[in-house]
Structure 1
Amino acid sequence: MSRLFICKNIVLEHTLLNGAVLVDPDGKVEKVIEADEICFVKNTRKILLGNDFLMAGIVDSHVHINEPGRTEWEGFESATKAAAAGGITTICDMPLNSIPPTTNVENLLVKAHAARDIIHVDVAFWGGVVPDNTDAFYGLIKAGVVGFKCFMCPSGVKEFECLNESQLDLAMKKLKGSNAPLAIHAELAICEPCTGNPQKYETFLKSRPEEMEIEAVKKIIEIGLKYDKIMLHIVHVSSAKTAKLIKDARLKGLRITSETCHHYLTLCSQEIPDRATQYKCCPPIRNRENREDLWLAFKEKQIDMVVSDHSPSTPDLKLLSPDDENFGDYMKAWGGIASLQFGLSLFWTGAKQRGFTFFHINKYMSRATSVLVGLHGSKGRIQENYDADFVVWDPHAICTINESDIYHKNKANPYMGREVLGKVLKTYVRGDLVYDSESKSKFMKSPKGKLLLDIDL
């Protein structure tokens, strides 16, 4: 049966509408209608949302799920529950830190089989680029990966080696004209020696100066300009200076986009305590001035989107226990931040303070991310023939991030106890309810997510 979502605050691309969204039995948006037309719609199941806000579901294009192989870090079931609780209706899984990594079709199938039947939101997959796997590109593209990911410095796991300059050049050459973006971790391996107290964040920050990122992006641009029809994407931009370089490269004709992350927009180095390794990520969180410049970079059209880069690990790898001889050692702890569930509230809290609107949430967290991964014909907006992927939320609610409310497998994160603006009430995938904050179970017994692949399992 068709469903009619009636709401006084429907967030469209440029308009806030009092009306309804008609969803057909297949879970596609059939029509967006104004309030005075609702009475003419018959034979539907009405879903009354009142004064809450109805918005296109978030598309998080940068998530590390780690299953199989490191499922104790994060798994498909727990990650997609956290996503649903955060209003995210599609996540794109990165090719590491699972074992095996997604570097060929066989490995992709292993990962897809692990995810099948347990996901609560839709899941797409990135392919990986490591030395000597360019022959696997065609098969992965045909199987439906949304793009490829590589590193210019050690990734942190031995199964996913980084590329040198000639290997990066070859990867771009192989991918030109494919419409598959090459997402690059842009840091050159020029780390500074650790000369300070490793339990102080400033020591870690000095070991990975922004020049690592700036020089890497300069090299990417230099190589990229050699190849017509290459699509490049810089992941987790931490330096506002990098963002300007990327915009300048676009003016030269290079097809290049960029993302930043919630931790770079929310946190700053001056506020990070000693031994608080839940704050560690690579590239690192920089100073307060840089954070404000990153917000300004959105307005200057230097940054295109914001993602979570959700990358949790177990507490022992984060060195969080006072009983550990390396407790709080920023130089030895795993680098990665868990934030998948909080992205909407984190972004809205900072965005509202700086004059952004509801429409910017859709632009930077749904629309731009779906374009990056080629899902913009079905995801990222409320429009006819699009998937009825919705988040229902209260943008005025003030909430506190508590461990008991977190669905990530590992709870440690730098936001614990923080007050944020905005609460997700319900999440729908193709018109089906997948998360309800008011229900006892929160999630539906039968997971509704789909694997966004072009191969049969």
Structure 2
Amino acid sequence: MEMAFRARRAITEAGTGAYSVGVDAGRIVAVEAGLSLSADRVIELGEDVVLMPGLVDTHVHVNDPGRSEWEGFGTATRAAAAGGVTTLVDMPLNSLPPTVDPDALEVKRKAARGRVHVDVGFWGGAIPGNGEALPALHEAGVFGFKCFLLHSGVDEFPPLDDAELEADLRILAGLGALMIVHAEDASTVEGAPRPHGSRYAGFLASRPREAENRAIARVIELARRTGARAHILHLSSSDALPLISRARAEGVALTVETCPHYLSFTAEEIRDGATQFKCCPPIRESANRELLWQGLADGVIDCVVSDHSPCTPELKRLDSGDFGEAWGGIAGLQVGLPAVWTGAARRGYALEDVVRWMARRPAELAGMTRKGRIAVGRDADFCVFAPGEEFVVDVANLRHRNAVSAYHGSPLTGVVRQTWLRGRKVSGTDPRGELLNRGQC
């Protein structure tokens, strides 16, 4: 055995406590209670840290190639590793070209090859007119397909109407593939007040809960009709939770995610002009946030992923503070774990819950059988986490490309001390990540 990690506290499939984890050739080959396992190299972990599975973040906008000034594979994966994330799945839009056919997927893989510090997979895109390309993209190894039901923010990735969504769902049902949906109703948003100026309340009114609720209801109905698997991205409206729960009870193949920013921030505390908090759907009120936490506890919401969607500082319009003009997206890939742990601990949840929400369930969502758990046969992907250590987020210390984040100045609890990818510590200088294909990880 090449290595053994001896942890006074580890969160494993065998339980939580003092465990030794053996690693050989990048895989976990032993998980034993106690601290006596021997190997050629032994990593002794201190009493103040927990050995956890590396996190799996299935919602990251790397934007590379084409908009690499917003983010890039090198910077995004360094930030991921600094946050305990060992696997991410890149979204198909904001890069140029968008990942809507096999040729575009190869362009993206070429841009990523040799530059990634963690393992990276790719979502494909479903847009009007590319239905015939979906089987080929599926065969090429994407983990599923993303669509929008309203304008995506970039013209090269247009939304699907109801007929197109149903047609694509039928194709994906035949493939056994997953459709992940940005679920906001276009007509509801078009009928809402237009966002303008610096008032956050004005922006919030422009993306009402009803837009999410109506879109989710439509996705549920079409998933029921077609038998396809559907996943709701970045849920922010707690109003939709009963609808989601009923659909699952009726047998609809539906999963749901939310994001650290919806669990961390509230509309009441966002000051006017603070466009670093703009995202779509928006951060809502305090009572809504608490219901999202309850949705996680109840299992209605499956997982928590970052929706890391950065841009250049000028696109955030920090000078004018105009929510109508600013790009919508939160840059939070590196701080998702401490943000969620801070909120979870305050509400009485355990670190095991956070591991389930941020490692195990995202891996299951993407069909990754070697990720998200500390168990024999899994990849030796680990996060060494100090759950009691406190810090204040300083955007100057974040490793994504541009120094803008809604988390700047936030006091958080929990520090990632080390990240290990297939038995190697991630240094941030030597990119050893792999490009992943569906069904092979």
TM-score (norm 2): 0.97
> Is residue 2:99 matched to residue 1:111?
no
Residue matched to 1:440: none
Q: Contact 1:187–1:283 at 8 Å: present in 2 too? A: yes
The one-letter code of the counterpart of 2:40 is T
Per the TM alignment, residue 3 of structure 1 is displaced from its structure 2 partner at its CA by 0.6
Give the counterpart of 1:310 among 297, 308, 311: 308
- Over aligned residue pairs, what C-alpha RMSD do you find? 1.5
| Superposed CA offset, 1:292-340 (max 9, x none) | 110011122210101100000111111012xxxxx11101111000000
How far is the alpha carbon of 1:246 from its aligned partner? 1.3
Give the corresponding residue for 2:432: 448
Report the CA distance shift for 1:145/1:105 in structure 2 as closer, same or farther (over 3 A): same
> 5 Å matches for 1:290-439?
290-321=288-319, 327-375=320-368, 377-435=369-427
Alignment match, 1:7: 7
Match of 2:34 in 1: 35
Alpha-carbon distance in 2 for matches of 1:99, 1:7:
44
Residue of structure 2 in register with 1:47 after alignment: 43
1:13–1:363 contact (8 Å) kept in structure 2: no
Contact 1:89 1:122 in 2 (8 A): yes
- Tell me, which stretches of 5 or more residues in structure 1 are unaligned? 322-326, 436-442
Whichever residue aligns with residue 43 of structure 2, its letter is: I
Q: Contact 2:182–2:233 (CA<8 Å) still a contact in 1?
A: yes
2-structure distance, mates of 1:218, 1:432: 45
Paired amino acid for 1:450: E
Taking structure 1 as reference, are residues 136 and 199 closer, same or farther at Cα in structure 2, changes over 3 Å only?
same
Shift of 1:140: 1.0
Deviations 1:107-142 (A, max 9, x none): 000000000001000000000000010111111111
Aligned position for 2:224 = 225
Supply the distance in 1 between the matched residues of 2:62 and 2:301 (Cα, whole angstroms).
Answer: 25
1:195: how far off? 6.6
1:234 aligned residue: 232
Deviations 1:27-74 (A, max 9, x none): 000000122642xx3x52111112121000000000000000000000
SS in 2 for 1:106: helix
- More off after superposition, 292-301 vs 125-134: 292-301
Moved more, 352-361 or 12-21: 12-21
Q: Which residue of 2 aligns with 1:64?
A: 61
1:193/1:222 Cα in 2 relative to 1: closer, same or farther (>3 Å)?
A: closer
In the alignment, which residue of structure 2 is the partner of 1:280? Answer: 278
Secondary structure of the residue aligned to 1:317 is: helix
- Distance (Å, rounded) in 2 between the aligned partners of 1:396 and 1:231: 39
Q: Alpha-carbon deviation of 1:231?
A: 0.9
SS in 1 for 2:433: coil
Which sits farther off after the overlay, 197-206 or 110-119?
197-206
Counterpart in 1 of 2:166? 169
What residue is the counterpart of 2:241 in the other structure? 243
Give yes or no for the alignment of 1:96 onto 2:73. Answer: no
The total of aligned residue pairs comes to 437
* Mapped contact 2:192–2:208 kept (Cα < 8 A): no
Q: What are structure 2's unaligned runs of at least 5 residues?
A: none
Q: Please identify, of 195-204 and 263-272, the stretch whose mean Cα deviation from structure 2 is larger.
A: 195-204
Task: Provide the C-alpha distance between the structure 2 equivalents of 1:403 and 1:204, rounded to a whole number of angstroms.
Answer: 24
Identity of aligned residues (%): 44
1:141 counterpart = 2:150: no
CA offset digits 1:163-189 (Å, max 9, x no partner): 001000101011004232100000011
SS for the counterpart of 1:47 is strand
Q: In structure 2, do the counterparts of structure 1 residues 195 and 160 end up closer, same or farther at CA, with 3 Å as the change threshold?
A: closer
Contact 1:281 1:337 in 2 (8 A): yes
SS in 2 for 1:226: helix
Contact 2:18 2:35 in 1 (8 A): no
**Contact 2:84 2:416 (C-alpha < 8 Å) held by counterparts:** yes
Tell me if the contact between 1:102 and 1:108 (Cα under 8 Å) persists in the aligned partners: yes
Paired residue type of 2:433: G
Give the partner amino acid of 1:419: P
- Match of 1:176, SS state, is helix
Large movers: runs of 4+ above 3 Å:
192-197
Structure 2 counterpart of 1:210, which letter? R
Q: Which amino acid aligns with 1:141?
A: H
**Residue 404 of structure 1, CA deviation:** 2.2
Q: How does 1:118-129 map to 2 (within 5 A)?
A: 118-129=115-126
Secondary structure at the aligned position of 1:213 is classed as: helix
User: Which AA in structure 2 matches 1:246?
Assistant: I
Deviations 1:207-246 (A, max 9, x none): 1110000000111111111122x11000000011112211
Q: Quick check: 2:342–2:413 contact (8 Å CA) kept in 1?
A: yes
* Secondary structure, aligned partner of 1:428: strand
* Structure 1 residue matching 2:19: 3-state secondary structure: strand
Is the contact made by 1:148 and 1:181 (CA closer than 8 Å) also made in structure 2?
yes
Whole-angstrom distance in 1 between the partners of 2:174 and 2:28: 32
> If the length of structure 1 is used for normalisation, what is the TM-score?
0.93
Shift of 1:15: 2.4
Preserved CA contact (<8 Å) 2:359 2:373: yes
**Alpha-carbon distance, 1:198 to partner:** 2.1
Answer yes or no: is 1:130 the counterpart of 2:127: yes
**2:147 aligned with 1:154, yes or no?**
no
